[in-house]
């Protein structure tokens, strides 16, 4: 299985952008990049996903490198409610992969 | 449309007792997944069920753990003869189908404490 590498933690100031990197150097052509986050004492929550093109939704943007070996989740204006653990997960379309393989993720702290 | 409902939110059991964790998926969702999060560890997949069928139980411990998703009613994760090492947060997720463009919706979890 392709693996992802994320920094353990990141800090941000409120209302500033947050860029969360994810390395996936062994990604295959059929792996989708998914992001989930887990707020304190909550279950994980879907954030965004993509394959090759950059993606935007109401929560965040996903920038995918041209070689797909890395990606960056962008929170445009961090709020205190964005403090969470963010997980970058690969899912293989060939196997219709329903399992989410959560790593350690990146713990994001937002300062008021 | 209510989200994924798990109950109880907190459960305390003595060693040797049984724990039953319930999960009601979102309306219209027929796929249910259970994950476990041990203290200071990441979430690990346990089992995937569709109505009345276990599709993948590769993450379930071989003994004492079982899961079901009956035709009517919630999905149940059952842990028999609990031990301290079973103390963890158990999360249920549901989806309307499977596929790359399908997101999983998680409940708030049941925190099991074995004393």
Average pLDDT, chain A: 93
pLDDT of res. A85? 97
Residue A2 banded pLDDT, cuts 50, 70, 90 = low
B93/A43 CB distance under 8 A: yes
Q: Is-contact A61 A55, C-beta < 8 A?
A: yes
Residue B51 banded pLDDT, cuts 50, 70, 90 = confident
Mean pLDDT of B7-23: 98
On the question of pLDDT at A1 being above 60, the answer is: no
The answer to whether B5 faces chain A, any CB pair under 8 Å, is no
- The total of other beta-carbon atoms located within 10 Å of residue B55's CB is 15
Mean pLDDT of A10-15: 96
Mutate to test the interface with A, among B6, B25, B42, B89 (most CBs of A within 10 A): B42
CA distance B41 to A21: 21
Residue B1 banded pLDDT, cuts 50, 70, 90 = low
On the question of pLDDT at A34 being above 60, the answer is: yes
CA distance A16 to B112: 37
- For A8, A34, B1, B45, the CA distances from A87, given in Å and listed in that order, are 11, 8, 26, 15
What pLDDT, in 10s, does the model give residues A61-110? 999 999 999 999 999 999 999 999 999 999 887 776 788 889 999 999 99
Q: Is-contact A73 A35, C-beta < 8 A?
A: yes
Q: Is-contact B17 B83, C-beta < 8 A?
A: no
φ/ψ (deg, to 5) at A95: -95, 10
User: If you measure CA to CA, which chain B residue comes closest to A44?
Assistant: B106
On the question of pLDDT at B99 being above 80, the answer is: no
DSSP secondary structure string for all residues of B16-30: T--EEEEEEPPTT--
On the question of pLDDT at B81 being above 60, the answer is: yes
Considering only CA atoms, which of B81, B88, B30 is closest in space to residue B59? B88
Q: Which candidate from A93, A100, A101 shows the least CB-CB separation from B100?
A: A93
Q: Is-contact B19 B86, C-beta < 8 A?
A: yes
Mean pLDDT of B102-107: 89
A100/B44 CB distance under 8 A: no
On the question of pLDDT at B102 being above 90, the answer is: no
């Amino acid at each position: 299985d392709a693996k992802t590498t994320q920094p353990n933690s990141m800090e941000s100031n409120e209302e500033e952008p947050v860029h969360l990197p994810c390395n996936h150097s062994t990604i295959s052509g059929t792996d989708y990049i998914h992001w989930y986050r887990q707020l304190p004492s909550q279950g994980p929550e879907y954030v965004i996903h993509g394959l090759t093109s950059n993606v935007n939704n109401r929560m965040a943007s996903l920038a995918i490198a041209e070689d797909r070996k890395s990606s960056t989740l962008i929170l445009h204006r961090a709020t205190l409610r964005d403090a969470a653990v963010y997980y970058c997960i690969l899912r293989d379309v060939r196997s219709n992969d329903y399992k989410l393989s959560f790593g350690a993720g990146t713990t994001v702290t937002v300062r008021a | 449309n209510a989200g994924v409902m798990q109950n109880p939110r907190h459960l305390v059991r003595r060693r040797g007792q049984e724990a039953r964790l319930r999960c009601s998926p979102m309306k219209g969702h027929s796929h249910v997944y259970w994950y476990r999060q041990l203290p200071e560890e990441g979430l690990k997949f346990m089992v995937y069920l569709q109505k009345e069928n276990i599709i993948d139980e590769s993450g379930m411990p071989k003994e004492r753990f079982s899961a079901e998703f009956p035709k009517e009613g919630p999905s149940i994760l059952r842990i028999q003869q609990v031990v301290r090492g079973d103390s963890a947060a158990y999360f249920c997720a549901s989806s309307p189908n499977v596929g790359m463009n399908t997101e999983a919706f998680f409940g708030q979890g049941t925190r099991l404490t074995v004393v």
